[in-house]
Amino acid sequence: MNAKPKQKTATPQNLPTDRFINRELSWLEFNQRVLEQAADTSLPLLERAKFLAITSSNLDEFMMVRVGSLKMQYARNALVRDPSGRTVSEQLQAVSARCQEITERQYQLLNESIAPLLDEAEIQHIDLNHCSDRCSQAAERRFLNDVFAVVSPQVIVPERPFPLLQGLGIHLCVRLARETPTEAAGQGSEQQQSPEWDFAVIPLGRTVPRLLPMPTDRGHAYVLLEELIAHFVEDYFPGRQVLECIAFRITRNADVELREDSAADLMVGMEEVLESRRQSRPIRLEYSDGASDAMLAFLSEKMGLHSQDLFAFNGPLDLTYLFTLHGLEGFDQLRDEPWQPQSVSEIDPSESMFSTIAARDLLIVHPYEQFDPVVRLIEEAAVDPDVLAIKQVLYRTSRNSPIVAALMRAAKYGKYVSVIVELKARFDEARNIEWAREMEHAGVQVIYGLRGLKTHAKVCIIVRRESQGIVRYMHFGTGNYNEVTANLYSDVSLLTCNDQLGSDATAFFNGVTGASQPLKLQHLAAAPNSLRPRILDLIDAETRRAREGQKGEIIAKLNALVDTEVIDALYRASQAGVKILLNVRGVCCLKPGVKGLSESIRVVSIVDRFLEHARIIQFRHGGDHQLFISSADWMPRNLDRRVELLVPVDDKDCRRKLSDTLNIYFQDNTNAWQMQTDGTYKRKAQKQTALRSQQTLYDRTCEVTRASKERGRSFEPHRPKADQ
């Protein structure tokens, strides 16, 4: 399966040149929406702290990948403009300014709101300079017993290379006075300070936990590792005067891709990519504010960074430590009430998954409904004597994946198991390499993705011999085969043994594993060959109907909308009068509500306790609605550089459930944000009756589960034992 080069088209007629939002700034608007959850006083305190941690983690990845990419573009050609008309230099400047605003807001919320409230809730962040003797003594014991022997400083010697520091790791930089004798030794004369100084770096590493508990009579007290070391830093430099000690962190460019044209062995090539990231160029320096000019000049010079790459923080670096606080035991009242995933009402646990799917298609909405049926299907297939083969795409999996274990078990039972493991799944490369090797040793046929493409489709095909012949049971999904994130991400699964979809799925899989052009798919659409044309045809069909006086409507739920060709098609549809409702969680480069361009387009974004991840698309199609689920967002990378699937949902009950789920998101007036024409967002005004889409979906699922259990409940009296 080869990528088709995207043809360049002229600027569409009647469409303004300034019709696109910058992608990077749109993503930062998304992170701003996440950050505002931390300011929402209606949320439990530790949930607000968790959202601060999420925005910090999000910014780290954004810097590593998106800013890293911009830096590389700048080095190649700084004058290239993006679809919004900005040069690379203008984008870097705008991104830096917006990131500064977001980080200032983060620390404002931390220092003025969340930290004081945590202290009131008896989760105390100890200041070692102002603490009890008991805490001070405990801190000294902890430093001497657990830290001093493990963590070591490294003095920077000018004539030697600067040490290779771990990206996103916290370090301390120490400025030391350099003493120079002015008279010969032994004459008792005083020494005077040189205007120069020495520097040393103390990497914290990962051996010692960052959050260290401190003694307290109630609640929980802690100190951060960097604070503990800084408090006792003079112990590392006996006889030296410590002038300054500050915490800092660097971010390295992670937009390091494999040059597949020169990689003879993909696995070896990916291991080299991981090593290249470890040594790649720094692109951001974060440091504790209050650092001297000398300290800042030293660090920025050693890192080769400019002023727009420097971020001073009034508080602890790397707010992801708040994830640990969120998980503290004994503070349940400060967290959301758990929403336990419900059993799927149509599935009888006493029946096999094959019997259940043979009776009807199943559409499962996660995490409101359990992911267990997907795992159970593959586990049953592994030991079922009638199963001949299992074919699956794995993009991301959990650390102790039961699905991978089932696939290896199936191979040991002699089944034909063929798995595409995408080694190029960013930040999961190491885990996927490990899984690939283990599966190969277990006898699984492992294909390492495709040259020049990432295999991102979510599909599993189980081939089973039955009395009527070969039957293919399939799972299509919008999310990964990861039972852990399935409890955190909002996704959709379709379980079916539809023969037409089975025929297409087999042709698709064989086309991928055979590295050939697949047979023409009748029902599925696959990127990079047919998914883009299919989406454009579906949009254009609504446009034609609207121009003919019929009602046209497009409703789509996506993670991102970036592709300019698709956006232009939506603009044309809007100009023709098609009603377009878009639920785009993150990046959206389309401008909604612009007179004469996109007046009938509305864009909302939902930010709530679960990460919205499902891709659901509905076209009115003259009243005979067409519904799809997909692994692909409407981005050039998904449509042109990845292997993706668009899957029709044809079963009547599944369609009703999917359509109802989709429409609930547009009724949200609690956690929905409305996109403005300039790319900013405003929280949707709450009406008299509040509706929170995720709460509504969960409550409805619970109601269905309860009703199903009540229908299935029967009374069985004890009867006397029959006479013998």
Are 48 and 38 in contact, with CB atoms under 8 Å apart?
yes
Show the 3-state SS of 413-460: CCCEEEEEECCCCCCCHHHHHHHHHHHHHCCCEEECCECCEEECCCEE
What are residue 453's DSSP bridge partners?
450
How far apart CA 213 and CA 123 sit, in angstroms, is 11
How far apart CA 430 and CA 76 sit, in angstroms, is 29
Are 488 and 614 in contact, with CB atoms under 8 Å apart?
no
- Backbone phi, psi, residue 173, to 5°: -110, 130
DSSP letter assigned to residue 397 = B
Q: Which residues of 688-723 are buried (b: 16+ CB within 10 A; e: fewer)?
A: eeeebbbbbbbebbeebbeebeeeeeeeeeeeeeee
Are 214 and 221 in contact, with CB atoms under 8 Å apart?
yes
Tokens of 723: 């006479």
Residues of the chain with pLDDT under 50: 4-11, 182-194, 258-270, 273-274, 277, 723-724
What are residue 339's DSSP bridge partners?
none
How far apart CA 470 and CA 69 sit, in angstroms, is 48
How far apart CA 205 and CA 184 sit, in angstroms, is 42
How far apart CA 54 and CA 359 sit, in angstroms, is 42
The domains of the chain, with CATH numbers, are 13-121 (1.20.58.310), 129-180+193-321 (3.30.1840.10), 353-521 (3.30.870.10), 526-705 (3.30.870.10)
Helix or strand (DSSP H, E) at 675:
strand 672-675
How far apart CA 672 and CA 667 sit, in angstroms, is 9
Give the residue from 633, 666, 641, 662 showing the smallest Cα distance to 535.
Answer: 633
**Look-up of token digits 């995933």:** 341
pLDDT score at 397? 87
pLDDT digits (tens, 9 = 90+) for 656-698: 999 999 999 999 999 999 999 999 999 988 777 899 999 999 9
Give the residue from 173, 223, 443, 434 showing the smallest Cα distance to 324.
Answer: 223
How far apart CA 167 and CA 64 sit, in angstroms, is 9
Measured CA angle at 527 (ends 522, 531), to 5 deg: 55
In one-letter notation, the amino acid at residue 186 is G
Rg (the chain; Cα; Å) = 29
Give the residue from 102, 118, 104 showing the smallest Cα distance to 48.
Answer: 118
Q: Which one is catalytic: 220, 326, 366, 456? A: 456
**Look-up of token digits 């919320």:** 109
How far apart CA 529 and CA 532 sit, in angstroms, is 7
Class of residue 550 by CB neighbours under 10 A (exposed 0-12, middle 13-18, buried 19+): middle
Tokens of 279: 């040594």
Distances (CA, A) of 428 to 270, 375, 424, 433: 11, 20, 8, 9
Tokens of 441: 């040793």
Tokens of 361: 């298609």
How far apart CA 227 and CA 247 sit, in angstroms, is 9
Annotation marks residue 456 as catalytic = yes
User: Mind giving me the DSSP string for 691-712?
Assistant: --HHHHHHHHHHHHHHHHHHHH
DSSP letter assigned to residue 494 = E
Are 634 and 535 in contact, with CB atoms under 8 Å apart?
yes
- Backbone phi, psi, residue 44, to 5°: -60, 150
